[in-house]
Every structure is written in C-alpha cells, then in structure tokens.
Structure 1
C-alpha cells in the first residue's frame, strides 16, 4: 500500500533527513510533507533510500585500544557526543547508537585518519551560507583564542548548521567558516546574549543617565546629520576609513547624502562620532556653514556622548564600538588646550583598550576566507590596519612599548579590493580611492615599527646608545626604506606637486610629508645619540638616612656638598646660552651626511 504524497515514509523511531540533505549535512525541513523544502526549491527528487550509517554502543567500544579511546573528539568540558563510525573498519559491525548525555553536542562524520597525525577528524560541512558575525540577532560575538577555555581545534568537531551556528541556551558558537586551511587556525566566536551583561554596563556607565538617540537628534537633527555624514566620507574617510560606505547606502562614489532611514539604523555612539569628526569641515557645506555661524558647536557634547556609550557598550561590543573608539582617539582638542597641554596617560591607556577590543572582535585575524559578507571583510581589514597604525605611531611618539606583537596577527596588506563600494558583483572605486592616503600611512607605520624596534626599545637603546658605527649602519638601511616608500607616492602627493591635487580636499599630502619627515628625524636622532657622551651620574644621598647616621649637620642650610671629598662639582648650563657645537670628525658620519642630505 503506497503512502500519500503528503506523508513521510516511516524509516525509524526518529525522523531522519532525506538522502540529499543528509549527504550535504543540512537540516531537512518536511513540516509540509515531502518533498522537503530544500529539495522542493532545488527541484530534485526527495528520497529516503540510503540508510544512515550504523553507530556503536559505548559499551561495545571497551575493546578499543587506549589510543583509539584517546582519539575520540571531546568538548572543552569533556563530554563525548555522537560519533559516526561508518568509516572506521573495526566498528562497522556495531548496530546500536551511542546516546550522549548532552545531545546538543553532535560531532560530524569521522572521515578517517588525518594524513599528518593519524587522528580521525570530523569533516567540515560541504556548504555554509554567508552570514554576518557583527550583526547576529542572538547577541554579540567575541573570539575564542588559541588558549581559550573552549579550544578552537575541538570546537571544529561540533556539527554546525548551514549558517555556521551551534545553539545552546544563551551562549552559542559561531564557526567563521573557510578555516582551517594551510597555515590557518580554526576560528570560532562565542555568541553571548546581551542581557547577561546589563549589570556590568551600568557599573561602567560614565554618565548619570543613559544616552539615547533622541538626545542625539536634539543636538544634531537628522537632516543636518545627512550632510555631516557626506562631509565625513569626503574629508575624513580617505585618511581614516573606519566606516562601511555600502552599509550607509553610499554606493555612488561622490558627494552623496545618505537616507534618513539608513541613519536610523546606525548605532548612536558611531553616529555621534561621525558627526563630531565631520564638524571641522562644515565650512565646505553651503547649508551647514550658515547654521554654524549662528549656533554654538555641539562637538564637545557629541564626544562626551561617544565616550559614555563606548564605556558602556564595551561589555557587549560590535564593530561599531571599535569604530567609535578610533574616531574618539582622533578628536581635536579644545582650542585652549591645543598648544598648552601635553598628552595625558589616558591617551596611551585608551589605545591599549582599543587594541584589546579589536582582538576580542577578531579583527587581527585574516578574514577573507570566512563566511561573512564582503562589506564586513573589507571593514574588518581596514579596522585592523587603523588599530595597528595607532599602536605603532603612538608607541614611537610617546616612548611606550607597543601593544601589538608581530606573532599575534596575520592580516594581509591592504589593496584596492579593500576600498570597494557596494556588492562585489558591481563593485566600483572612487577616484580618490586608488590614491587613498590611508594606504600610504599604513605602509609608513610599518617602517615606524621597525624604527622603534631597531633604536627605541629598552634593550636596543641600552646596546646602541654608545655604539656609533652600529647605529650608523642600521640607520642607513632605515633611511633607504624611507626613500623607497617615498618613491611609491603618486605624483600628486609629492612636493611640490601636492598643490595640484583635487581642489577642496583635506591637506593629506601635507600630513603624509610631515609623518615622513618625522620618521627621518627619529632615525637621525638615534644615529647621533652616541656622539653626545654622558657624564658620570651624580652621587645619591638620602637625607633621612644621613640624619640618623651621618655626623654632618644636615639641618644646616649652609651645607655645601662641593666640599665633600670625592664629589666633583658640575658646571651649570644656562638654556639661554647659545654655544656652537662642533662634532668630532668621523669619516663614517661625514659620508653619511653627504649621502642623505
């Protein structure tokens, strides 16, 4: 007796997937009867002819060798899930299945021993649909590092769905897809529910109340905000491309205003940072320049909103938090503090916070092979290089050990594909993207890192501070690299041709040349350091100890340390005295100066 088409054929106590879905390791949805939804969409036969492979009882596996038991995949908590054994020869005769105490932990089919290690590995699903990691509905994502509590090499044995997800109660796993491959490690993210961190957000909230979108719209009405976003894309983006133009709907490479519906979807902290970054350029907008004349600037209040929201949202971060933090780092100081106040330790501490946030989001790992949208790949790569540039430049300028180490990231160099606009099927680049200043500043940051490692680390300074010959030899190589970098600049970025660049653009060539000359100064500064010999350090006296042990009348204000034997007086040097300095003759020095000046 044949079954009606709407009924599913009985095969076992549990409904198993059809042959096509099982072969592709995809979910089989037959709520409406056969054919299943996938077979119906693909217009192929939905059959149940091939039986599933046999599974072995755990009691029958006691005859395994010790090495075989050790080879069973396990989770980070030690549970052993379902293991398909059809391809393991000495288990094919087993007929019953293993029921795991944690049925949500299902492992993929064991395909046989790995050629390299001899350990059975789970095969990866043949297909995985592209899905954003940053815009998951289930919560926020943070990376599982190589030594995290959930081992990435064990997580790859879990059976993920066709979107790379593995669901638990409030903490899920997301497989990035595309890895592991040669020289790449498995990449997984933990997706946590945002409500688990509500209490922590309140503890680190910098303001008295919660910042809302209504407050932002009162400071900057959305109609004005559209023009500020367009100014940001035109003047700020080429030097700091930390936003996605395609996600703002700016797929046309020109001075384009985004839609109000698009701005409503941008997180408040990122939108406020974009507004504040674009305000210095309101003079280039015919409408905003008039408003700015009769209204006070809300820039300081906008930056305060950004800082409060970043401090709060850093518990449940997305890429928008990192974007807003990078823009906050580049805010212009107030007029009264621009030339009178040095950078406080907060700045370098905030850079470390940004680097830690970037690593938690996984932007320091190459993502071109991941199963995420193309716009997110481009944004992640640009964000990493922006973080890298901040770390290398500021560590050199402030004399601090860098936060980023070469062995802890593998993002490849930027190319034109990282600045595309729109989907890959119809990609385009703006006229300035082919000569975008950010790419040249990133390459210059690579040289800045090498200068810091060569001359300005603690160990290098101790070794080279008195060795002129070694310093000169190392400096030659670095100056040659700077010259090579300069030769790669387009003609419009070179002096004196930079004035021929596009009219109305921000002075990017000036900034690039200033950064280049600054590195040249740092090289010569380190090379000339051995020529200024230091005198012997002064003797140290502890007045508290001398009061108890020394017979000298330490309370006598007329005490003259110069009369004590063994102490030579040092002449006073007045900063107002202008004394010409004649360096000692040195053949290496003279030839070096003639070659590079």
Structure 2
C-alpha cells in the first residue's frame, strides 16, 4: 500500500480520515497541529495474520493477547443493551470517584455493567461505518483558545514563538492550543457520559430516533448519519452535554414511541437527573471548548447561535452579545446540509418517496432554517432602530426624529416583511385544514409565529411613541392603532387555527415568549385605549389567545409555558377601568408609567 493511499501515522493513531489538499505535503490534521506527516508505522495487519503469529508459540502469549484486545472490534451498542437485560441496573462510575491516575486505555475497558466487562471505547478505524470516514476527529486532551485582534498577546509576537501551541489558520486568525486542566479530563468525560446513559437506559437509542424524527428536521444542526452511526457503536463517542441535550429534547415526544407510550419498560428516563447532568457537564465543556473541524457543522452551529442570541436578547429585554460588526460567518448553502444532498440523490434514483409519520423532509428543514435566519436579520434591524438605548433614551434618535419620522422609518421594514412572506415556498406555507385525519407534521408553524412576533415588535415600538399631547396627526394615530389591532387579530387567529400536526412539531425556546408577546401587545393596546369598545376588543383577544393555548396545552409544552406567562404577567383584562373616577385615575397612572418608560 502506497503512502498516498493510506493514513499517515498521526491520523492512524487518532483513527481519523487522512485528508491532504492538492499540492500539500502534509495532511489537514498534521498541518493544524504542526506535525510531520510521516508514514513510518506499518499498515494494520489483517486478523488472519495475527492468528498465524499466535500459533507459532507460547513465549509471547501475553503480549499477543494484549495486541488482540486492541485490534478486536468493540461490541455495537445494540449488543451492549441486549446483554444488559441480564442485570438489574446500569452501573456507572460516580463523577466524584474518578481516579486521578486512570489512563485512557483503562477507561476504554471500564465495566458499564456489574457482571461483565464491556468495551465501548473508540474502535479501530476499520470497524467504523463508512460515513464516519468522512469526518475528522478531535483531540480529547487539549482545547483551543482564540486570540483576538485586541488581545494583549500580539499575534506577531506569538508567531515568533517556537512552540507547538501556536496555530495560525490564516493571516487574521490565530489559536493557542492548551492541555486540559486535569489529567483525568477524559476519565471524567467517560464517567459523565456513562451517567447520562444510565439515566435513560435502556431506551437511549429510542430517544435518539425520536430526536431525529421530530427535533432535527426543524433544527438541522447535527449531522444525522454521523451521530446515529457513532451512537450505534457507543454512547461514549459524545460529549456528555450534547448527549444530554438530545435525550432531554426527545423526551417531549415519548408518546410517539409504542414502548415508551405503553409503559412497557421498568425504568423510565430520569428527566431530573438529565437536567442536573446537563448543567454540570455544560459548565465543564465551556471551560474546555472543543472546536469541530467540519466547516458545514461550524456554519450551522454559528447561525443557530446567532439566532439564539438575538431572540434571547429580545424576549428577555437584554443587550445583544453578538454584533454584526464582529460577525463574519458566511451564509449557509445547500452544501452545508449533508442530508439535503442525500435526499436529492435518493429522489433522483426513486420515482416515489414516502414520509415517515412525524418526520419532515430534509429539504423542508433546510429551507425552514434559512428562512429563520432571514427573519432574524429583520428583527435585528428593528431592535437596532427602535429598542437600543441610543434610540429610546431621552434625546435619543427616536425622541429627536418624532413620531412621523419614526413611522416613515418603519415603512421599508414593513415592505421587507411583506416581501419575505410573499416569497415563502409552498413547503413552508401554513395550512389549517382539518379534512385529512392523519397528516405529517408541519414544522413551519413556528416560522409563522416568529413572523407575527417580529411584526408585533415593530408595531409595539410605534404604539409606545403615540403619547397623548404629541403633535401627531390624528389620521396617522388612527392608522397606526388600526394596523396594530389587525396584527394582533392575525396572530391570535394563527394560534387558534393550529392543528395537532402543528403543535406536535418542534418549537424553539423562544416560542412561548413569542406567544406571550402577542398577549402583552394586546394588553398595551388595552392600556392605551381611548374608548370602552377598544378596551373590550383587546380584552376579548387576550381571552381568545388564552383559550387557544388551553385547548392545545396538553400536547404542546410551549403552549403551556406561554399560558403561564400570560396568566402571571397579564391576567384578565376588563373594562372596569372605565367605571368611576378613582379607577380611571389608576388607568391614567398606568398609561403615564408606560409612556415614562419609553421616554
């Protein structure tokens, strides 16, 4: 076998694919770690040759048995689960009892069951499914630190340091590679991931299947085929925080699995234990970040983080952590979604396609993800123009421009939102027809809810500017409030028309606050209404919204959470404030407080 057709020594030891760019003497992994790309190690001998060597004598029997153990493929995770039925519990080492001298070789043979030794460590490269040969591995004992342009450690000086810890990616990007804090970091990781698996044993593979049926199509961050292939080999291939997140999200769809729904297992997944492990392991992962190699995964993860930061800042009223001036991630394309390309290949070779109940096509999930990114850009523009401190403070931009100019500033954004909605593909349309008894899940409902939340965010800022006494033209005042009521009506109708295939799909963490924002905006219109009729209309819309959430809350966690937010912060709205001068003064006080907060 030539050196060009087999893995170099570094990739062979790490059991990763050896990727070498055209014209380069070193592979990608050796270039990143600044190592020599050598081929001194002999190729892995075949198994029948090992047996022949062991037959020559007994003088080196112990050494040969050790070599055989290293070369024996590990049991698949399904086989491990089948053996585990012979025992009552899935025992794992405690997080506080990991030996500080436990080596990586020892952890690879740690018993996960009390009566047997089960190897669930990293297998030889030959034992991997072919899909895993297209991925690059990570160093389990080091982590990278990004050196920013304003860091006290100047990149030019770091370039002069003769050290293996300095890694320059290009002329603007430099990393420092540090060893993990503790020598037991890998042993601790294995103990943690075993604890995660113990919390869901023996239904871990079922939860993974549920995750990729219901969550992943609407939130396509992970590489589905790679994750499933690794999980079939061993749960120890994952960071504990990642595996915990997958299991926790999948628990919301337990009723969609016959075994979990029927209660046919003795031990149900321990959600409380998973939540505790998620908090503990995520904190440790943040101290030792492991950067993924695959650029598509990094790009998907980057844009997911971008949207999460934006919506979290908006619904909680907090400053943004990520700003466009420091954001240089390229837009996602179809090449960043491996399942999309695979689906196109499958559709080209088959004339008919079938959709599993509860699943969403990969192409639909890809479009959904991209449209969420586009909508996030519009929301960021609204936040920067109407909600930042520079805009809302006294003598800020909104105070200086006045109501008329602020409304004119909103017109291009409104046109942009209309264009965004008009260009939605048919796959992302919202249909509320109940003619068919059984339909696949419609994951686009969350996108339409986010769209209404963005519109309401814009009109809420405009309504806050319509303070009594301002020289606002009456026609403009009436037009803004009429349009605002129309937006509330449309949003409430959206929630009221959702069918089970909508509510049973995946909803992000911001969904409940988006719904509460609709009710909160109706409450703002109620508090600033000038007639009893308008107050009654606003109160009725809040009641309609709460009713829509009540009848859907049993099967939709986001609806239950949104209802709790509405009941706790808004409650019931009535027209009693129009009765009697004493209560009318209280209403005026509420209005004054709201306007004062804007000023």
TM-score, scaled relative to structure 1: 0.49
Larger Rg: 1
Judging by fraction of residues, say which structure has more helix. Answer: 2
